[in-house]
Amino acid sequence: MARKAKQKVIIQTISDKEIDAIHLAIGKTLKAKREAIGVTIDDFAYQVNISRSGLIRIEKGQDLTLRSLLKVLRGLGTPPEDFFDALPQKPQK
């Protein structure tokens, strides 16, 4: 039985720098949305069950997990698909 030739799989990669830029764009957008509804960081952190320092890190684009992102989006009343549709396609530096 003849072996099939291995096919090269080409996967588009993303650099750490690009990931950091996306995290920063997400954090800035979350902060702007929170401020737009007039909720303090302390009150919002309590409402979404995230520590104040954790929310500060998220809004700075650091320490972002899917779990924390979903908690914040739920607290903002924003469906994830709407949030991502509104993000800039090329994060600003």
Out of 8-12, 18-22, 58-62, pick the least confident.
8-12
pLDDT at position 4? 67
- Are 20 and 61 in contact by the 8 Å Cβ rule? The answer is yes
Q: Containing domain of residue 61, as a range?
A: 16-86
Residue 26 lies in a domain: yes
Residue 7 lies in a domain: no
Residue 10 lies in a domain: no
Encode pLDDT of 20-33 as tens digits. Answer: 999 999 999 999 99
Tokens of 46: 């309590």
Residue 3 lies in a domain: no
Q: Domain of 68: which CATH number?
A: 1.10.260.40
How many domains is the chain built from? 1
Residue 43 lies in a domain: yes
Encode pLDDT of 37-58 as tens digits. Answer: 999 999 999 999 999 999 999 9
What's the pTM value of the predicted model, to 2 decimals? 0.79
Residue 37 lies in a domain: yes
Residue 93 lies in a domain: no
Q: If you average pLDDT over every residue of the chain, what do you get?
A: 89
